[in-house]
Amino acid sequence: MIRLYHCADARSFRPLWALEELGLDYELTVMPFPPRYRAKEYMAVNPLGTIPALVDGETFMTESAAIVQYLVTRHGPSPLAVEVDDPAYGAWLNWLHFGEATLTFPQTLVLRYRRFEPGKAEVVADDYAKWFLARLRAVDRALQSADHLCAGRFTAADISVGYALLLAEQLGLDAEFTPAIAAYWARLQDRPGFKAAKASQLKHAPEGAEAFPT
Ligand SMILES: N[C@@H](CCC(=O)N[C@@H](CS)C(=O)NCC(=O)O)C(=O)O
């Protein structure tokens, strides 16, 4: 059985959303954020203290985009994956990793210096908010001619980038979404798989595990 360690609406939402889209059976451990302080037993599972962590038999993973890639390929075949001989394969991998490496990285600086450590480095938070919004231009361009990022359908790449839009909303950066991105974000939230992931984290939440990053 697959087990996912999760905090509500944190990066572990990517694999949770993928699990629901794939219709796989899984066990979910929802912890208060940050688990390194509020669920110290988790350090024995993942010494980094970060979420997500996924255990699937002998497989142990801690990178959200890689876990999504793993789930849709190892537990496929699924239309969420793009095959290596598909012309969209490179674009798919690029978007999958763009979601974390290019979009979520600057958001974490905004989160840290606006939300968790205010008054320490506001200028860093402001700069990286701008950085994030500038990087979204690539997403806007892709959506000018399509409903999804690549391959002409919803794939794991949309899960990866979609999570960055979820975090942007929590950070109040969604007010600056372009019309194409706002419509895309609305489409993603309307998916049964997205709604099921939201319901699942609520159902499994322990007392006091308020949504990240409150
Ligand atoms: N690149 C990793 C980053 C994982 C990560 O830093 N997760 C954050 C939450 S979104 C975390 O666990 N922070 C708590 C901490 O560092 O103590 C991924 O994509 O999964």
Predicted confidence (pLDDT) per residue in 9-47, tens digit = 999 999 999 999 999 999 999 999 999 999 999 999 999
Q: Whose CA is nearest to atom 6 of ligand 1?
A: 50
pLDDT of residue 206: 84
Task: Determine the residue of 9, 11, 201 to mutate for testing ligand 1's pocket, defined as the one with the most ligand atoms within 8 A of the Cβ atom.
Answer: 11
Task: Determine the residue of 37, 50, 166 to mutate for testing ligand 1's pocket, defined as the one with the most ligand atoms within 8 A of the Cβ atom.
Answer: 50
- Pick from 27, 24, 26, 31: which is nearest to 10 by CA? 31
Q: How far is the CA of 64 from the centre of ligand 1 (A)?
A: 9
Tens of pLDDT along 179-199? 999 999 999 999 999 999 999
- Pick from 17, 51, 13: which is nearest to 31 by CA? 51
- The span from the CA of 70 to the CA of 18, in Å, is 10
* In the predicted structure, residue 212 carries a pLDDT above the cut 70: no
Q: How far is the CA of 50 from the centre of ligand 1 (A)?
A: 4
9 touches ligand 1 (CB under 6 Å): no
Instruction: Tell if the pTM clears 0.75, that is, is over it.
Output: yes
pLDDT of residue 214: 46
Long-range contacts of 162-166 (CB under 8 A, 24+ apart): 162/17, 162/99, 162/188, 162/194, 163/11, 163/13, 163/14, 163/17, 163/64, 163/99, 163/104, 164/99, 164/100, 164/103, 164/104, 164/107, 166/9, 166/13
Task: Determine the residue of 43, 51, 170 to mutate for testing ligand 1's pocket, defined as the one with the most ligand atoms within 8 A of the Cβ atom.
Answer: 51
Tens of pLDDT along 150-181? 999 999 999 999 999 999 999 999 999 999 99
* DSSP code per residue over 158-196: HHHHHHHHHHHHHTT-GGG--HHHHHHHHHHHTSHHHHH
- The span from the CA of 50 to the CA of 74, in Å, is 23
Identity of the residue numbered 65: A
How far apart are the two ends of the chain, measured CA to CA in Å?
31
Token pair 């806007």: residue:
140
- Pick from 22, 56, 3: which is nearest to 197 by CA? 22
Q: Which ligand 1 atom is at minimum distance from the Cα of 35? A: 17
Tens of pLDDT along 90-142? 999 999 999 999 999 999 999 999 999 999 999 999 999 999 999 999 999 99
Token pair 């990087």: residue:
135
Q: Which ligand 1 atom is at minimum distance from the Cα of 66? A: 19
Q: How confident is the model at residue 5 (pLDDT cuts 50, 70, 90)?
A: very high
